[in-house]
Structure 1
Amino acid sequence: MEHETLFPLLCETANGNKTAFAELYNLTSAQMYAVALKMLKRPELADEAIQDAYIKIWHNAGQYQRGKGTVFTWMLSIARYRALDLMRYHKVRNEVDLSEDTHSPVSTDESALSDAELQKLEACMGELEPSQRQAIHLAYVNGLSHQEVEAHMASPLGTIKSWIRRGLQSLQRCLSL
């Protein structure tokens, strides 16, 4: 779906096509909201983060670079950074449990991922090394910065960045099969 659907819609969005932008929103907003809600724990903050993220996506669609990742990854990083900003501003970090979720590697609302997609994601997460899985979980689910993951895991920053980068590459390969 990524290459055939999201990329052309983002290109049209960059050209100011509001219909393409609306379709891009319809295809991605549930997943992006689920990530923001997981990070922020408060629906009103997740709504704000996603609204701000889509405004930024509308204004910066032409800046997307295919060689640096998928359209959805680019969009999700915008939402994630906005959620991090809101976490810092509202000081909700104290409400976030930093322990890794042992029940499910990634918890999302049911509308965000189908059962099959969630099972595949969980299987792919299960194939990662424990350090990679925990670093990705802390960064992308709990919304911690690399420096905060470093402090939590008591490992050097370069190692944390490598675990996250290699883990995400492994996930991307696994999910594309």
Structure 2
Amino acid sequence: MTTRADIEDMIARVALRDRAAFSALYDATSSKLFGVCLRVLKHRGDAEEVLQEVYVRIWHKADLYAVTGHSPMTWLITVARNLAIDKLRKRRAHDGADDDMTLIASDEPGPERLAIARSEGAAIAACMGELDPDRADAVKRAYLDGDSYKDLADRYAVPLNTIRTWLRRSLIALRECLGR
């Protein structure tokens, strides 16, 4: 099992252009990051394309990761999620629809993964429950569905900067809650 320290070490070595560390980082994290891309894009081909972009970005930007006490997987997932959302927005701008013929069924996780997912999911759900319902919905729409700030501002009939403030404060509250 790859530990947090192992991933931090791999990222540090990737920043020094260590190809073996890059390969090891890919092996250790690609399935998780592919899952993130697939969840946002719901299209296997697009998710594979974005995953490649993710690792190109990691190769070029690994020196920007700083060990700050936050999980290195959080940084990697953020890179993947942001690139996937960018791809989703471009796809929506071009065609506005998903091609249902290319969607894939997810693999069935094992009992251990299910238990971990339930535990993490319960913690996240509990923390989301502490947020105002509009704020929780905005967080879900922004970070899981890929809605833009403008989409959210229009939906809730508030200024764009208000949405930014909602999301920033909500993420801070979630981080504090999950840290308890």
The question of a shared fold, defined as TM-score above 0.5 by the shorter chain, is answered with yes
Change (3 A) 1:15 1:136: same
**Distance in 1 between residues matched to 2:146 and 2:49, nearest whole Å:** 16
The CA distance in 2 between the partners of 1:47 and 1:135, in whole Å, is: 27
% identical equivalent positions = 33
Partner of 1:77: 78
Q: 1:93 to 1:77 in 2, by over 3 A?
A: farther
Task: Compare 126-135 and 158-167 and name the one that shifted more.
Answer: 126-135
C-alpha change, 1:149 and 1:30, in structure 2 (3 Å) is farther
Q: Aligned pairs, how many?
A: 165
Give the counterpart letter for 1:143 in structure 2. G
For the residues of structure 2 that align with 1:26 and 1:134, how far apart are their CA atoms? 34
Where do 5+ consecutive residues of structure 2 fail to align?
Answer: 99-105
- Residues 159 and 85 of structure 1, relative CA distance in 2, 3 Å threshold: same
Equivalents in 2 of 1:155, 1:169: separation in Å? 20
- Superposed displacement of residue 31, structure 1: 3.4
1:126 corresponding residue in structure 2? 129
Root mean square deviation, CA, Å = 2.9
2:40 is the alignment partner of 1:43: no
TM norm structure 1: 0.75
Structure-2 change in CA distance of 1:4 and 1:126 (3 Å): farther
Q: State the distance in 2 between where 1:152 and 1:135 align.
A: 9
Match of 2:17 in 1: 16
Gap change, CA 1:114 and 1:19, over 3 Å in 2? farther
Change (3 A) 1:3 1:172: farther
Structure 1, residues 91-149: CA drift from partner, whole Å, max 9, x if none?
36544xxxxxxxxxxxx976576332222222222222212211111111011222222
What's the TM-score, normalizing by structure 2?
Answer: 0.74
Q: Which protein shows a greater Rg?
A: 2
Q: Which ranges of structure 1 fall in alignment gaps of 5 or more residues?
A: 96-107
Please say if residues 89 and 146 of structure 2, whose CA atoms lie closer than 8 Å, have aligned partners that are also in contact.
Answer: no
